Amino acid sequence: MNQQDSTLRPGEGPEGPRIDASAVAIAPEDAPRPSSTELEAVQHYFGDRAESAQRYVGHLVSTGIEWGLIGPREIPRIWSRHVLNCAAVAELIPEGALVADVGSGAGLPGLVLALARPDLMMILVEPLERRCQWLDMVVEDLGLGSRVDVVKARAEQVVDTIDADIVTARAVKALKTLVPLTLPLVHGHGELLALKGRSAQEEVEKASKIIRKYKGRDAAVLTLGTDVLEEPTTVVRVRV
């Protein structure tokens, strides 16, 4: 293999040549737009970056579905259930923080937070090659490459290389399994923000011993976005 072949750009691999994201995403004007009731929340969380969020939705409902990152049944609720649900977490993150998003998948919440908060540095930790290729493709198309890195790894493989202020996770593991994977990434000082559903409090109770084992404290179930979201976001916050 020559030198050129050994330094492939992100997105090249077994599936073939790197895909030009701008050529495959649904045009922003053709992607699902927020409803009138969702529009206030979009403006609240994204401001003048709303069109970038719209373009991200274009990726989700095109290649995101084609590559198996999100199901086609999610299209009607792509804004409320996914994008805005994740954007609400931005209000918990301090300015200029380094955020590691574990099991980033389709960039939920990692890419959403990068769009909502241009002051953040993001590391998207994802173990599956194909998902990393998709993330690389979308990061480049959205112009986020200067402050968003995609790392192909499991969380436990990057403890020695990532020292984050905040760790986020959505739909990855139950809390008692998630804590050992995520809290070590803050190295004794930081927070885990885990997006959860109705069983959040039950998960906290079941994980109480493992939270203490990993030096976690003040585990709390928070409800976010009640003033702008039809379906508020539930987050478990564990401080270290």
Candidate from 1-10, 16-25, 37-46 with smallest mean pLDDT: 1-10
Band of pLDDT at residue 102, cut at 50, 70 and 90? very high
Residue closest to 207 by CA, chosen among 197, 195, 198, 220: 220
How much is the pLDDT for 1?
35
Q: Across the beta sheet with 98-102, what order do the strands follow?
A: 148-152, 121-126, 98-102, 166-170, 191-196, 233-239, 217-224
How much is the pLDDT for 175?
96
Residue closest to 231 by CA, chosen among 74, 75, 86: 86
Q: Using CA atoms, how far apart are residues 62 and 141, in angstroms rounded to an integer? A: 14
Average model confidence (pLDDT) across the chain: 90
pLDDT for residue 4 is more than 60:
no
pLDDT for residue 150 is more than 90:
yes
Band of pLDDT at residue 19, cut at 50, 70 and 90? very low
How much is the pLDDT for 184?
98
pLDDT for residue 24 is more than 70:
no
pLDDT for residue 176 is more than 50:
yes
Q: Using CA atoms, how far apart are residues 103 and 231, in angstroms rounded to an integer? A: 23
Residue closest to 238 by CA, chosen among 224, 225, 203, 227: 203
C-beta of residue 93 within 8 angstroms of C-beta of residue 113: yes
Task: Report which of residues 26 and 10 the model is more confident about.
Answer: 26
C-beta of residue 183 within 8 angstroms of C-beta of residue 116: no
pLDDT for residue 97 is more than 90:
yes
Q: Using CA atoms, how far apart are residues 142 and 148, in angstroms rounded to an integer? A: 11
Q: Quick one: average pLDDT of 124-134?
A: 97
pLDDT for residue 81 is more than 50:
yes
How much is the pLDDT for 6?
37
Q: Quick one: average pLDDT of 52-72?
A: 94
Band of pLDDT at residue 31, cut at 50, 70 and 90? confident
Q: Quick one: average pLDDT of 29-53?
A: 93
Band of pLDDT at residue 171, cut at 50, 70 and 90? confident
How much is the pLDDT for 25?
56
Q: Using CA atoms, how far apart are residues 153 and 10, in angstroms rounded to an integer? A: 15
Q: Tokens in use for 170?
A: 């959505």
